[in-house]
Structure 1
């Protein structure tokens, strides 16, 4: 019986729970870890703030779980941490007799009908495994209970929305304070200041937005010193726009995705309105970034080689930094036929891979031409979502050039456009004509993912 990390991530109620679980996915935090002989049940004791550890247990077949901590979240961070340990095999889950506290939980969960009469009782370990395997009797739901649960759910949603709105009020006040005190002081102390407001947002259930603000100092420091004040103004302005957009439409799934929480994989796959695209794709590049919250983001950029559908797709995954580097299932330059389902958006980009087949031999070697002028490609996404940080672009024919001060630029072959490039483009990328270039525009710099030249494909770091 096994569970993967993606299933653990989907169980988490919010990003803050996932972050807390990553901190608990360490052997030193746990004792008494074990499993039933068939691996269906797992358990362990997690050190908490009190004298006694929390007792944590889970059934891997249906992911039922229990923890003795007082958290109101279900599952709590301790359950997620236990499942994380199992998914990544961080500690061995040795088969053992089921502890009495796990047996008690099973008895309450499955009902007394799952247990045998005392006269024919099996040994403790065997009895608990059989109890776990027992099929739960069909229960007819009481309409009053269903109505009560719906009312409780509506109340929780209302409380969550109010908490987010309060956190956004605090954010706008914080932004005003930074502007009043001066951008120079903000840039010098950005890490500490951003961390404080990010913690407030996490408490206010705006965990995704908190992660964005936590990464803001690194984005500013990546700019030249003279560009940082204007970069800070743009970043803070986008945060204000996002906060006000949430207030206007707090139930909008697209806005909630960048403020509070992302829909689960199952929700997106089950959405009949979600855009599905079956096309030929090329893997442009993979970006792996260790975040300040202890998670690693793994972003895979895909280029749609067909004539219709979104030109780019972004596959995004998270895993704990403590788990080490993950191997990728894609290779840059690889081509495949596959079906993707996109998260609902005015500008569909983030997607899930539903099916992946081998590439067909008849795939064209050249990338498609840009489907809009460069100016429109830079501005259209901002008209729909003015708070976005990155815009994928397919650039026309051009070259990489350097100015007298050593700055690197992409210049269109017809001389109509010039854009600054992040870092130093070297090797083949800087030494030949680029027929097509796929890049990410961050508002002030291009990060080149890959390009096509008369000599073939060139990676962004070649």
Structure 2
């Protein structure tokens, strides 16, 4: 595997902003060519970036302990800059994609041919940009420090009235939704087998109007279930059953314990403020391995799903990031890397979703096997335990040790040492089979209760991003 080593400034005095985000500079970071591909906004950008990997497309290439730079020649000459402190970047081109093909091309070039980029002194146009970035970071940290102080007391009466108004609106919307579910049950699943996508989307829009966007997203996804597999009726009934359970939980919300009450509200679409998250969430310090990542495009919203595993705690975490209008994600999370960090887990009974609270130390390539389940039965037992705590979970991070994959009829299975198997999502896994080379390996992925989406593998003492 071709690797790229990015050297960061020594973090002697790392400063942490009030919300935990480190604004110091790190020491060492390793990226593979596959990992560079993962930060691209789409496949077209990857293809365009690869066309710029040749040194003939560049002039003035260079790097130092802080930055990587180059002038890309094309219809015009563009200044391309990468901050090795946090993988921030800038290009003078007018592209609306982030990162653009020029930034990707420069990173790919450095990954594939590091000797083509000489070490040197940064040009003035790069130094000016880096200085402005550092200045903005310092000003932002100062503003956050100021706003973290005492605030003007909120109008508790107004807040309470707004909260009661939303709860009333949600309750009214859920009553109408319950009638819709009963109509489906009364008419039978055969009546909805050929319903258009709008049948589900219209109901989802009604739930959005009722201020229950979390439940609306679930209902919108039901449109993909009918006729998707031979057992689609069972899958749809299970989803309807979970939705009915959520309605019952809302009706008795005041009798639930605080953690489960928080889960129900989050499932319906309530968000948690940063202040409440820091006060009620759980801080977990560990060396966190990014074992998998994929991006889901939902209309004009991109959702990045990153699965992390703690080396010492064996905890699994799901970090979600959202981007609208083609904007870059806030955090740079590279699959196949690991770093000492503190994660802040959202309050509730699931303790699955988390966000970075503080990142420190070295960001390095994964060179030893991540923690995981020894058998598939052990993994499924952990899934059952999570569902017992929170029955509305829809995805689970998985690292399966010592497995192999094999085709079975028109599907693929991942099989463990006990010859127990679960299906893989998708129909083409010949590349995964070839990478394994006939040997057992560790497979990381996302389990949705029906199939495992492969996201990464540990084989031959190295981690490969899928």
- Once the two structures are TM-superposed, the CA of residue 343 in structure 1 deviates from its matched residue by 0.4
| Structure 1 pair 190–328 and aligned structure 2 pair: CA distance change class (3 A) | farther
With structure 1 as the length reference, what TM-score do the two structures score?
Answer: 0.61
Partner of 1:205: helix, strand, or coil?
coil
Structure with the bigger percentage of strand: 2
2:253 is aligned with 1:244: no
CA spacing shift, 1:290–1:350, aligned 2, 3 Å: same
The answer to whether the 8 A contact 2:321-2:330 is kept is: no
Choose which of 370, 373, 379 in structure 2 pairs with 1:370: 373
Match of residue 222 from structure 2: 216
Paired with 2:211 and 2:292, the residues of 1 have a C-alpha distance of 32
After superposition, residues 114-193 of structure 1 pair within 5 angstroms as: 149-189=155-195, 191-193=197-199
1:208-257 CA-to-partner distances (Å, cap 9, x unmatched) read 21122222223x26x74313222211111111112212222267222111
Deviation sequence 1:397-450 (CA, Å, 0-9, x none): 2211111x22111111112x2111100352452243443322222121111222
Mark the runs of 5 or more structure 1 residues left unpaired by the alignment. 1-5, 7-87, 91-139
Query: Contact conserved, 1:435 with 1:452, CA < 8 A, in 2?
Result: yes
Within 5 Å, give how 1:59-458 maps onto structure 2: 149-189=155-195, 191-218=197-224, 220=225, 224-249=228-253, 252-269=261-278, 271=279, 273-292=280-299, 294-306=300-312, 308=313, 311-320=315-324, 322-323=325-326, 329-359=332-362, 365-370=368-373, 373-403=378-408, 405-415=409-419, 417-431=420-434, 432=436, 433-454=439-460, 456-458=462-464
**TM-score with structure 2 setting the length:** 0.60
Cα RMSD for the two superposed structures: 3.1
Task: Give the C-alpha shift of residue 180 in structure 1.
Answer: 2.5
Runs of 5+ unmatched residues, structure 2? 1-18, 20-95, 99-150
1: CA distance, partners of 2:459 / 2:246: 39
Q: Rg: which structure is higher?
A: 1
Residue pair 1:342, 1:350 contacting (<8 A) in 2 also: yes
Cα distance change on mapping 1:331 and 1:168 into 2, 3 Å: same
Counting matched residue pairs gives 310
2:37 alignment counterpart = none
1:173 Cα deviation from its structure 2 partner: 1.6
Q: 1:100-149 CA deviation, whole Å, 9 max, x = no partner?
A: xxxxxxxxxxxxxxxxxxxxxxxxxxxxxxxxxxxxxxxx99xxx97xx3
Q: Comparing both chains, which one has the higher relative contact order based on Cα–Cα distances under 8 Å and sequence gaps of 6 or more?
A: 2
Listed one character per residue, the Cα deviations across residues 262-284 of structure 1 (whole Å, up to 9, x for unaligned) are: 10233212x0x421111111112
The separation in 2 between residues aligned to 1:364 and 1:298, in whole angstroms, is 24
